[in-house]
Structure 1
Amino acid sequence: MKKFLLLVAVIGCVNIAAAQDKPHLYNPAADAKADIAAAVKRASATHKNVLLQIGGNWCVWCIRFNDLVTKNDTLNNYLTKNYEVVHVNYSPENKNEKLLAELGYPQRFGFPVFIVLDGKGNRLHTQNSSYLEEGKGHSKAKVLEFLESWSPSALDPKNYVEKAK
């Protein structure tokens, strides 16, 4: 009996340690609408856009994307310079259904799915992440192109005015 109880205790400790190692990017208890409003306020003040990454801690592709953009210096620097990022939870505990309805039902594309908002909170673009995939992850080049295409400078009309000769 003692051996059985010891085995149960060891398995319990291993499970707790494994659960602590899992990244928790998404918080089911978060007030996503308030988080987005705060990000929009920061973006407005710093001339950035807002990137909503919608998914869940259960989603391996969500974790892979986050790993790519946080561990790759080029992507991380570009993202930090141009975007305020909000991880919006979608899980059985909290699907954020009302918010996602307001955002045009982006979950139809699967997860992760990305929405770009401007500094006023207007939705500029919804990105199906499958177009950014390559192999068992996401393409650095495709992700950078996506981020560049929806950055504040890419959308600034001043960058497209012809200069007088």
Structure 2
Amino acid sequence: MSLHLELKKEYNRLNDTKKYDIIIERLKERGVELVDIAKITYDLQKPYVKDVTLEICLDHVDRVILKREVQHAVLVGIELDVLAEKKLLSEPLLSMLLGDYGLFGVDEVLAFSIVNVYGSIGFTNFGFVDKSKPGIIGRLDTEGKEEGKCNTFLDDIVGAIASAAASSIAHKYAQ
């Protein structure tokens, strides 16, 4: 491999690590810790992987967030929620995001870009958590409607990361 390609590969790895750190900080600013996501992953995989632990789930959440295409989706979704809260989007988009309009669907489509990295298991897990709203997802969904916050994208992003991590675990530990 040429020196140029080696340097480019190292730059991309470091840049993904920097974006990972930014994402962790932005999630914390929005009230989401990685352990919150890992708990959902754990609940999704406990019936299927006997020896799964919260630590394993947290490791797989990290793996998901380190993926470049996941990072891009997370950054876009969080940014749109923040811009809506600051009323920096034009109508009718602003009202649709602030009201978490049920037929909007773009938030789920963005989440699909995360779960599709891990195949059909992630996709079906996402459908389940999107409907049932376990753990932090339910809090984000309610908080967005009651406290003037906009979590239209964030609740789906969290569900997608948890679902993708569950799929990653299923692929690794399937028997």
TM-score when scaled to structure 2? 0.25
Q: Higher relative CO (CA 8 A, sep ≥ 6), structure 1 or 2?
A: 2
- Structure number with higher strand proportion: 1
Of structures 1 and 2, the larger Rg is shown by: 1
TM-score when normalising by structure 1: 0.26
